[in-house]
């Protein structure tokens, strides 16, 4: 009896926390399905009287949300693809090749993780401005080409691959690049997936850098577009909720599908010492 009471209390607490956590997201979805004006009534309605997709239609036709969705998707995929290649090569290199100064370079990289990205943004902007790369996809991608955290994750994983495996492939006459591509990459699949989700979500959700480097609205990503639109449409609650749903839903679905790799990655990143 005592145990069931404790268990009951525990679940009431957990359920209360779950409802509190989900409430803002559920209200966002509900309001996005309401006709204009319905969300701005008291008490705030949680269920649309009549479900309508008007807001989504308005976003797509009048506010070119499709364009922003495309920009966000292209950029997130590009950064993920490129950085996965660059980081996995480097991570493998640091794990399995001996080179004078290798460990010092790696230590330097690890200590550089403390540099806040904001510090680099002013000169980076000036650099890109000179090169005519402000207001281009490339300008957005540049800071994400390689990531120290990504290199670190891959290196830790690659360290656990037995040297004998690599030696055996070498005996069979495989070249260094061949070994990397056909042996190491498949073995690293779980950590690559983890890194892919981190990078995709990080790029998708990123705000400050795209805000700085994209002034032309045809190149805006979803967060930049949403921040700008929400300034102009302060009163259009339902419309803005629909915009938020479109921005948030893709990453939520991705997370739901690949939860295991995402959470595993956080745990791997937290035990670095």
Chain positions 22 to 81 lying near other proteins, rule: CB under 8 A, are 22-25, 27-28, 31, 39-44
Q: How far is the CB of 82 from other proteins (least distance, A)?
A: 9
For residue 124, CA distances in Å to 130, 133, 207, 215, 218 come to 10, 10, 16, 15, 22
Q: How far is the CB of 189 from other proteins (least distance, A)?
A: 18
Size of the residue set binding other proteins (CB under 8 A): 92
Distance CA 188, CA 90 (A): 13
Contact segment (CB under 8 A) with other proteins among 50-58, 59-67, 90-98, 188-196 equals: 90-98
For residue 58, CA distances in Å to 141, 236, 250 come to 30, 11, 20
Q: Which of residues 254-273 bind other proteins (CB under 8 A)?
A: 254-256, 259, 262-263, 266-267, 270-271
DSSP state of 219: G
Contact 244, 226 (CB under 8 A): yes
Within its chain, how far is the Cα of 188 from the centroid? 20
> Of 78 and 127, which has the nearer Cβ to other proteins?
127
Q: How far is the CB of 124 from other proteins (least distance, A)?
A: 5
Q: Which of residues 127-186 bind other proteins (CB under 8 A)?
A: 127, 129, 142-143, 145-146, 148, 151, 176-177, 180
- Residues with Cβ within 8 Å of 238's Cβ and at least 6 positions away in sequence, in order, are 31, 32, 34, 35, 36, 37, 38, 39, 55
Write the binding mask 182 to 211 for other proteins: x where contact by CB under 8 A, - elsewhere: -------------------x--xx-xx---
Q: Which of 51, 53, 122, 131 binds other proteins (CB under 8 A)?
A: 122
Query: Does 252 sit near other proteins (CB under 8 A)?
Result: yes
> Residues 184-219, buried b or exposed e (16+ Cβ, 10 A)?
bbeebeebbbbbbbbbbbbbbebeebbebbbeeeeb
Q: Which of 2, 62, 99, 216 binds other proteins (CB under 8 A)?
A: 99
Q: Which of residues 214-233 bind other proteins (CB under 8 A)?
A: 222-224, 226-227, 230
> Of 102 and 189, which has the nearer Cβ to other proteins?
102
DSSP state of 7: H
Radius of gyration of the chain (CA): 23
> Of 118 and 160, which has the nearer Cβ to other proteins?
118
> Of 54 and 148, which has the nearer Cβ to other proteins?
148
Distance CA 25, CA 241 (A): 10
Q: How far is the CB of 246 from other proteins (least distance, A)?
A: 9
């Amino acid at each position: 009896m005592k145990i069931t009471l404790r268990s009951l209390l525990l679940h009431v607490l957990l359920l209360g926390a779950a409802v509190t956590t989900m409430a803002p997201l559920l209200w966002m979805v509900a309001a996005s399905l309401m006709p204009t004006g319905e969300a701005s009534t008291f008490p705030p309605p949680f269920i649309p009287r009549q479900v309508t997709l008007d807001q989504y239609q308005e976003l797509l036709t009048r506010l070119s949300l499709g364009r922003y969705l495309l920009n966000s998707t292209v950029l997130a995929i590009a950064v993920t693809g490129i950085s996965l290649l660059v980081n996995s090569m480097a991570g493998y290199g640091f794990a399995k090749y001996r080179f004078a100064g290798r460990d010092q370079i790696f230590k330097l990289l690890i200590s550089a993780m403390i540099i806040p990205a904001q510090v680099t943004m002013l000169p980076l902007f000036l650099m890109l401005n000179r090169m005519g790369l402000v207001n281009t996809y490339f300008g957005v991608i540049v800071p994400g080409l390689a990531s120290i955290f990504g290199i670190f994750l891959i290196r830790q994983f690659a360290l656990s691959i037995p040297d004998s495996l690599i030696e055996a492939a070498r005996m069979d006459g495989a070249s260094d690049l061949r070994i990397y591509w056909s042996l190491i990459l498949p073995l690293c699949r779980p950590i690559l997936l983890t890194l892919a989700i981190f990078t995709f979500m990080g790029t998708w959700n990123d705000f400050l850098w795209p805000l700085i480097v994209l002034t032309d609205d045809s190149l805006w990503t979803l967060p930049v577009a949403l921040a700008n639109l929400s300034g102009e449409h302060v009163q259009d609650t339902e419309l803005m909720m629909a915009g938020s749903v479109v921005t948030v839903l893709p990453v939520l679905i991705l997370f739901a599908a690949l939860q295991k790799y995402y959470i595993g990655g956080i745990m791997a990143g937290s035990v670095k010492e």
